[in-house]
Structure 1
Amino acid sequence: MASKLNQLKCKAGQASQFVAKHGTAYYRQLIDQNKQYIQEPPTVEKCNLLAKQLFYTRLASIPGRYQSFWKELDCVKQLWKNKHELKVEDAGIAALFGLECYAWFCAGEIVGRGFTFTGYYV
């Protein structure tokens, strides 16, 4: 355990040296490439204004997303009513989507447990 801790300290030291040496150049390059997104003047008041604009813009988008949800649900209902006309490709896509949702659920459960796999002991 002590050797792994020393390895971790060594790696952390190397990473901090790399960041200290190259971090400033990377920061300047990143700022130069994204100047069009920087608001002038860069003040706390401007940041607060942008945060409020983002919040209320997302709040205003809820009715549109609500309508889109019900349109999608209506499409699914129509597919279910006409399931006898359903193609194998469409059923396969739906099955893959369901499998993907289940896999994300399982991955979320594993992450929530701290990346541990548990089982039942008999």
Structure 2
Amino acid sequence: MGKLQQLQAKATQAAQFVAKHGCSYHKQLLEQNKQYIQEPATVEKCNLLAKQLFYTRLASIPGRYEAFWKELDCVKQLWKHKQELKVEDAGIAVLFGLECFAWFCAGEIVGRGFTFTGYHV
């Protein structure tokens, strides 16, 4: 059996499974999380919740800004006393830097439309 036929068979199985169990899973999920559901579910209520989320996030910026500067001060202190730095701490810093670089590269690839050269084929 070819790869395409195998993929089609798997997709058919998945579609059948979702058709059979999807509704009960949906009901179970809603029942487990009913404390998060707002009643009545109206457009006005959704707009209100969206505004509350936006302004709550906006209000949290000063706290996150302070936390950022505290973290930066800690990094500065570590840099000043780099002779006392342990190998484990240096390894964590290197891994963090590599992770940041990898996310940057992934963002660049996504920004170019998932191409590696920037040209669309």
Q: Say yes or no: TM over 0.5.
A: yes
Which residue is 1:51 aligned to? 50
Which residue is 2:31 aligned to? 32
> Judging changes above 3 Å, is the alpha-carbon distance between structure 1 residues 113 and 35 closer, same or farther for their aligned structure 2 residues?
same
Greater mean deviation of Cα atoms: 23-32 or 64-73: 23-32
> Judging changes above 3 Å, is the alpha-carbon distance between structure 1 residues 64 and 101 closer, same or farther for their aligned structure 2 residues?
same
Query: Structure 2: which 5+ runs fail to align?
Result: none
> Judging changes above 3 Å, is the alpha-carbon distance between structure 1 residues 23 and 86 closer, same or farther for their aligned structure 2 residues?
same
- Per-residue displacement from partner, 1:78-121 (whole Å, max 9, x unpaired)? 111111111111111111111111222223333334444449xx
Identity of aligned residues (%): 84
Which residue is 2:73 aligned to? 74
Greater than 6 Å deviation, 4+ residue runs: 4-14
- Per-residue displacement from partner, 1:55-98 (whole Å, max 9, x unpaired)? 11000000000000100111111111111111111111111111
Which residue is 1:94 aligned to? 93
Report the number of matched residues: 116
RMSD of equivalent CA atoms: 2.7
State the 1:41 CA deviation. Answer: 1.3
CA distance in 1, matches of 2:27, 2:114: 37
> Judging changes above 3 Å, is the alpha-carbon distance between structure 1 residues 80 and 106 closer, same or farther for their aligned structure 2 residues?
same
State the 1:25 CA deviation. Answer: 2.0
CA distance in 2, matches of 1:68, 1:110: 30
TM-score, length basis structure 2: 0.76
